[in-house]
Structures are given as C-alpha cells and as structure tokens.
Amino acid sequence: MNLRGAWGQLLLLLIVIAGGVALFLMMYEKKAVDEWNPPSARVLREPYLAAERWLRAMEMPSRHLGSFEQAADLPPHSALIVPAGRVGMTAQARAAVLQFVRQGGHLLVESERWEKPDPLLEDLGISRSEAPDFDYHDDRTGFGSLRAFRNPTESASADDPALLSVRWEDQPAPLLVTTLGGELLSSEDAIRTINGDEGTRILQKQLGEGLITAINDISFAQNWRIGRNDNAQFFWLLLNATPDLAHVYWYRVRPPQLWPWLKQHATPVLISLALLIVLFIWHGLPRFGPSQEDPSGERRRLSDHLGASGRFLWSAGQRSNLARAAAACAYDAAARRYPHLRSMAADDQIAFLCRRFQLPPSHAQQLVHGSDVREPTEFLRLTRSCRHLHRELSGTQADSVDDDRKDPP
C-alpha cells in the first residue's frame, strides 16, 4: 500500500467519525432532569437539620445544647428551642431553664403529648388540655409520608385542618402554619395567644426579663415542613420576638436509656421474667441425694469386671452378643477336651454334645451354629446349658434343676 492510499483511508475514517458525531448531536438533546434521592441517615436522625442550616444561611449562629443545666450559662438575647420528648427532666434542669428566661432569654418549648406528664410547662405556669375530636393522623416524630420526602417545598391547601391561620403584626396577610398537636394551652398571664378552631395552640408570656413561647407542635420547623407554606417565615418571626437576637440554641432530645424506661413502664414484666428465670434454673438443677462414702481403693476381681460388663451389655439390649459369646466359649471348651469335635459334621457335633453333656438339641445347635437369641427366657436356658457343660468338663457334679432355676444368669 502506497502513502497516498493510506492518507485516503485515514481521511475516509475521519469523515465517518465526524458524520457519526453530527448525527448523534442531531438526534439527542441534553437537558437537566430532577432525580429524587431518599433522605440520608443524618436527616432522619436530626429532624431540625434544615432549620439549623437555614439559620446559618441567615447569619444567625445556631448551636446544640447538651444538657438543660447549661442553660443557666447561656448569654442573654438568645433563644433556646426545646422540642417534646424531655424524659427524666430533673428539678435542677428546670431551675436552670427558668433562670435562663429570667435573665432575658427566649424559650420556645413544645408541649408533651396529653397523656404524658410535662413538669417544665407546670413550672412555667402553663396548663394543657386535650383537644376535642383530634385525629392523630400524623405523628410528631417528623417522618411524615413519602410524598413529603419527594416534595419538600410543596404547600398544603388552605383548607387543610393541619394548617393554622396566624395574624402577625406588620404582615399584610395571615400566615399559614402547620401545627398538628392535639393539646390546648392556657395561662392566666399570657400576653399573646394564637387560636385554632378548638382552642389555643400557641401562647406567649413574660417571665422576668425573658419571653416564653409555648407551642403544642413545633413540627413546622422540621426538615420536611420548614419549606412548606409560611412555616419558615413564621419561625423567623417567633425567633425575632427576642430583642437583638444573637444566638439560637437547640436542645437535642436523646432517647431514654433502656433500663430506666423498663423500670418505669415494665416493672411487673421484669419481676415476672426474673421469677421465671429462677424457676427454670431451679428446675434444671440436678437433684443430689444423701452423700455417700467414697469407694475403697482395693482392686476388684476379674469376675466383678466381667459381671459389670455383662450387666452393661444386657441393659444396652445386646443379649444376642452375650448369648453368642457364651455359646462360643462353651463350644471351644468342649473342643479343647475332645479335639475330634471340630472335624465332625455339624449334625454329628450336635448329636455328640447332646449325648455327652445331656444338652437339649436346640441348645447344642446354638453352640455349633451360634444363632441369635432374642427372648430373655431362652437366653437364661442357654446360659444354664453352657454352665452345665463347663461343670461336666471340670469334673464337678451338676446342681439340681431347682438350684439352677434359682441361680441368676
């Protein structure tokens, strides 16, 4: 191939590639597509993460509070947000929170559910009552529905019963805020109340130099609701009720420890379980009888070991093996005394044993052929015949029939 032909092929290849690229650009169009991603584990674990990041974007410092006892050391002109789920709040913790408010802090506290105690609201002078005909169709754990995850900024309709119309000063139109709580709040010295159809859902009151905002449901500040309706705007207005607000602190609710929770809610179950465990252990323990003396260290006779082995094989259901061994032993003893016995035919051996030792034909046949013995009575008769043969060979007189029946096998 010459150089001109190579350049021609290369040019043809470049033309084909360029045509393919042009065809691809003509057939396909590049556009942006929204793809839904499920929430991360941190979003599920921290329901107010979006609100915290939004506050930082608004240049409002936002931090977490580890314990209520630290509230007394918080700077003035700061807000403390306390969600529900305050399990095991001590008197010292409640006193620290009250001190924070008296020093000029702003406390935004969410009420506990109606069926649970709430010592903090009681110390603040705020009482609760159950909302009539309230439907807990959406809990306040903050997970909501799959649609809430897929559309975090989609607003609910104005006739949604979970929306509360709030009129705030300097606002041209009422704000639509999500509140789902079934508790109604009341206080004798409230300076502001926000009411729904059934009663007061949000109230504010003064305590010392500070401000208290009690809310029956603060889920409007959670990740999947902060971008809906007017929730973010209402949350910002609540925070700025504090003059010269400088810091926002979040109390991170921690789940209760297992043992205190079980002790509080399942004490009868724990006691019953402990009794059942003790009873099960007692039932499984071995029963020990009276103490026995240790056996002496003297050496036992060979007959004792043979007897123990025989009893073990008998209890294990091996009587056939015992019978065959006894018959073989008796046959070998007779063959040693009369060597010509092994050279005889089987029938002649049986006849010889019957004639010489007065054995029953069936027993003589078992000695010669070694057949199995399954019945205990037949086993006893065979062993008596074997013993009679050994005594005849040793020259001793055989015992009477009655004595033989009394002897153990």
The predicted pLDDT at position 279 comes to: 92
Whole-number CA gyration radius for the chain: 49
The predicted pLDDT at position 400 comes to: 38
The predicted pLDDT at position 316 comes to: 82
Contact call for residues 64 and 252 (beta carbons, < 8 A) = yes
Phi/psi at 63 (5° precision): -135, 170
The predicted pLDDT at position 276 comes to: 94
Contact call for residues 118 and 110 (beta carbons, < 8 A) = no
| Neighbouring C-beta atoms of residue 190, cutoff 10 Å | 18
What per-residue string of b and e applies to 355-374 under the rule 16 or more CB within 10 Å gives b? ebbebeeebbbbbbeeeebe
Output DSSP code: residue 18.
H
The predicted pLDDT at position 149 comes to: 47
Phi/psi at 166 (5° precision): -115, 125
The predicted pLDDT at position 403 comes to: 41
What per-residue string of b and e applies to 155-173 under the rule 16 or more CB within 10 Å gives b? eeeeeeebbbebebeeeee
Contacts of 52 (CB under 8 A, 6+ apart): 46, 62, 250
Q: Residue ranges per domain, the chain? A: 41-256, 310-406
User: What pTM did the predictor assign?
Assistant: 0.54
pLDDT, averaged per 10 consecutive residues of the chain (409 residues), comes to 73 88 81 78 84 89 85 87 83 90 91 85 88 57 44 57 77 82 85 83 89 89 85 89 86 72 82 93 80 72 79 81 86 89 88 88 85 79 87 64 39
The predicted pLDDT at position 161 comes to: 64
Q: Which CATH class is domain 41-256?
A: alpha beta
The predicted pLDDT at position 271 comes to: 93
Total residues found in the chain within this entry: 409
